[in-house]
Amino acid sequence: MRKWEKFENDISKYINDALRNYDVVVHQYGNADSTTPDIEIKLNKNNKSFFIETKMPSSQTSQFVVEIKDNMFVYEKKNKFESNHFSQEIIDVLNNNFDFYKNVAQSGMIVPVPNTIAFGWITSNLRNKNVEFITSVDSNGNKKIIPLDDFNKFFNIKTIFRRKKSGSQEIPKKYYNDFKEKLENRFGKFEYIIKSNKLFVKIKKNLSQNECYIESDLLPNGKKYFLSKKENYLYKVKLTSGTNNPNIIFELSIDSNNNDDMFTIQCLIDYILNEEKND
């Protein structure tokens, strides 16, 4: 189990235990899809629901893609959520120094975006997903439940601009034989499994990040085969995207000055009781 998965599971169990005597259902989605919040709270009394997003003490959130058109940066139309004045102000910062930012690399750079703008974008982005709370842990390991509007009181933030390959896809069947040949040439014999039209392989080795990428001349536009680790020796086979677009990414770190009495589970309980009362 990966570290973030264990973190989500621990948080979900904590919330489940804390709400055991309340008339709610806690559902953990538990996946790596950043477009779906992590935990849903459903109120049985009125069928209302909202989401809680888990964030490790050092994490990222609410990124969006930009592109270059007519020698300026613009908000890419394929982003899941529409642009607003927060994202536009961030793009304005880039365009005010276009020649400096236009050759951004994968290593990235910090952009001097005011915290009010960065947190404003994050809050609007999460609210679009019906998120009302963020959960994390403080510097002493205490679990915290932070109302979305108080997000900026718990975390520090850096706005990062860097190129990032877009998401991967399932490997099409027409590439199966080529992939198997390339994998065997590199690692020798292996076991492969097809489950629900998805290809998995078992290799008697824990691969490094670089070893998980496998090139082939048959693949178009700079795409590569990618081995996504699921457990020891078991990997799901994916096909990377050939695109390498500039992204705005927000890096979070906890503020060590937080008070131990702030953002306890009572924040969540009070919110639930208030939502039930206002039905």
pLDDT band for position 35 (cuts 50, 70, 90): low
Q: How confident is the model at residue 220 (pLDDT cuts 50, 70, 90)?
A: confident
Average pLDDT in the 74-101 region?
95
Q: Is 197 exposed, middle or buried (0-12, 13-18, 19+ CB in 10 A)?
A: exposed
Res 5 pLDDT > 60: yes
**CA 124 – CA 116 distance, rounded (Å):** 12
Q: Report DSSP state, residue 141.
A: -
260 against 165, higher pLDDT: 260
**Angle at CA 127, nearest 5°, toward 56 and 13?**
40
pLDDT for position 33: 55
Tell me the average pLDDT of the chain. Answer: 90
Most confidently predicted of 3-12, 212-221, 262-271: 262-271
The rounded distance, in Å, linking the Cα atoms of 61 and 151 is 12
**What's the whole-model pTM score?**
0.75
More confident residue, 4 or 105: 105
Among 44-53, 157-166, 204-213, 222-231, the range of highest mean pLDDT: 44-53
Give the model's pLDDT for residue 31: 58
**Pairwise pLDDT comparison (258 vs 92), residue with the higher score:** 92
**Mean pLDDT of the region 89-110:** 94
Confidence (pLDDT) at 58 = 93
User: φ and ψ at 201, to 5 degrees?
Assistant: -135, 150
Within 8 A by CB and 6+ apart from 254, the residues are: 57, 58, 136, 137, 138, 139, 154, 155, 156
Per-residue pLDDT band for 82 (boundaries 50, 70, 90) equals: very high
How big is the CA angle at 81 (ends 31 and 238), to the nearest 5 degrees?
A: 40
Residue 271 has pLDDT above 60, yes or no: yes
- Per-residue pLDDT reduced to its tens digit, 116-161: 999 999 999 999 999 999 999 998 899 999 999 999 999 999 999 9
Q: Identify the weakest region by mean pLDDT among 112-116, 180-184, 209-213, 242-246.
A: 242-246
Has residue 242 got a pLDDT over 80? Answer: no
Q: What is the DSSP string of 195-254?
A: ETTEEEEE-SS---TGGGEE--TTSSTT--EEEEEEETTEEEEEE--S-EEEEEEEEEEE
Confidence of residue 39 (pLDDT cuts 50, 70, 90): very high
Q: Are 57 and 136 in contact (CB under 8 A)?
A: yes
Residues 208-217: pLDDT tens digits?
A: 878 888 999 8
d(CA 120, CA 88): 12
pLDDT score, position 110:
96
Query: How many H helices and E strands in the chain?
Result: 6, 16
Which residue, 202, 247, 256, is CA-closest to 229? 202
Give the pLDDT confidence score for residue 32 in this predicted structure: 52
